[in-house]
A and B are shown apart, each in its own frame.
Chain A
Amino acid sequence: GESVGLHLPTLSVQEGDNSIINCAYSNSASDYFIWYKQESGKGPQFIIDIRSNMDKRQGQRVTVLLNKTVKHLSLQIAATQPGDSAVYFCAENTGNQFYFGTGTSLTVIP
């Protein structure tokens, strides 16, 4: 029978190119955001976080941009590598809970 499930957005990039993964969050009161990376068969791993009083934060090869006006978050990965292939989730914190988005599947083409 037909399987029904979440249709993860997918992104395919060439190795060495930059990747941009987008996330729309729902609650304008959310004040803290995290990007997670989940490789197959593993739990989500922290990549980078940002508080609502910032609009940009940089890490090693990654940058998170926050646009509170349109409730949009993005993750930019520079010089994407095969090891970056995974599902990426954004999570928003509202008060005392983290809510996760549905995720984006990133495939890096060697």
Chain B
Amino acid sequence: DAGVIQSPRHEVTEMGQEVTLRCKPISGHNSLFWYRQTMMRGLELLIYFNNNVPIDDSGMPEDRFSAKMPNASFSTLKIQPSEPRDSAVYFCASSLSPVIGELFFGEGSRLTVL
């Protein structure tokens, strides 16, 4: 299996622009997680899905952030409009279960908002 695939690996954009990050989980995994990693706050859970349904989005910073999972093999995290404080590495992870077992992480999308 190719593992969790994220795109783009790097994105540089200007404040106010829309950013879309993409994730393909490991086939057969039922749970998908979006994390954000910064030096200030470490690794934070933004949202997770189970069987394509958002279960907990309490970590989403504000209305500018939205996430979708239209099917079992694809998820997006959108920021609109983006701000410099959104600069971070965004990780997608998938697992067989949300409560037990290994989280498999992608390589991350490094976002820089100027």
Point out residues on A near B: beta carbons under 8 Å.
Answer: 3-6, 32, 34, 36, 41-46, 49, 89, 91, 93, 95-103
Q: Mark B67-93, 1 if CB is under 8 A from A, else 0.
A: 000000000000000000000000101
Which residues from B are CB-within-8-Å of A3? 39
Residue on A nearest B107 in the bound complex, by CB:
A43
In the assembled complex, B98 has its CB within 8 A of some CB on chain A: yes
24 pairs, A vs B, C-beta closer than 8 Å: A5-B39, A5-B40, A32-B99, A32-B100, A34-B102, A34-B103, A41-B107, A43-B91, A43-B107, A44-B103, A44-B105, A46-B103, A46-B104, A49-B101, A49-B102, A89-B43, A95-B99, A96-B55, A96-B56, A97-B56, A98-B33, A100-B42, A100-B43, A103-B43
Q: How far is the CB of B24 from chain A (nearest CB, A)?
A: 14
Known contacts A96-B98, A97-B48, A4 near B40 by CB under 8 Å: yes
Q: How many A-B residue pairs have CB under 8 A?
A: 58
Chain B residue contacts of A96, Cβ below 8 A: 55-56, 98-99
Judging by beta carbons under 8 Å apart, are B39 and A6 in contact? Answer: yes
- Does A103 contact B104, Cβ atoms closer than 8 Å? no
How far, in Å, is A29 (CB) from chain B's closest CB? 13
> Which residues, 94 to 114 on B, are CB-close (under 8 Å) to A?
98-108
Q: Which residues of chain A have C-beta atoms less than 8 A from B101's C-beta?
A: 49
Given A44-B43, A98-B45, A103-B42, decide whether A93 and B108 contact each other with a Cβ distance below 8 A: no
Contact B99 A102 (CB under 8 A): no
Bound Cα distance from A62 to B98, whole angstroms: 25
Smallest beta-carbon distance B47→chain A, Å: 11
Segment 13-60 of B: residues with Cβ below 8 Å from A: 33, 35, 38-43, 45, 48, 55-56
Q: How far is the CA of A4 from the CA of B41 in the complex (A)?
A: 10
